[in-house]
Amino acid sequence: MIRKLTENYPFELLYDADPAKEIVAEYLRRGDCYGYFEEAALIGEFVLLETRPKTFEIMNIAILEEKRGRGYGKKLMLEAIQIAKKAGAKQIEIGTGNSSLSQLSLYQKCGFRITHIEKDYFLKNYPQPIMENGIQCVDMIRLTYDK
Q: In this predicted model, what pLDDT tens digit does every residue of 103-133 receive, in sequence order?
A: 999 999 999 999 999 999 999 999 899 999 9
Note the pLDDT tens digit of each residue in 57-100.
999 999 999 999 999 999 999 999 999 999 999 999 999 999 99
**Where along the chain do its domains lie?**
2-145
Under 8 Å between Cβ of 113 and 143:
yes
Predicted pLDDT at 74:
95
**Model's pTM, two decimal places?**
0.92
69 to 33, 90, 98, 103, 105: CA distances (angstroms): 22, 29, 20, 11, 13
- CATH class belonging to 2-145: alpha beta
What single-letter DSSP state applies at residue 4? E
Closest CA to 73 of 5, 16, 114, 139: 16
pLDDT at 147 > cutoff 80: no
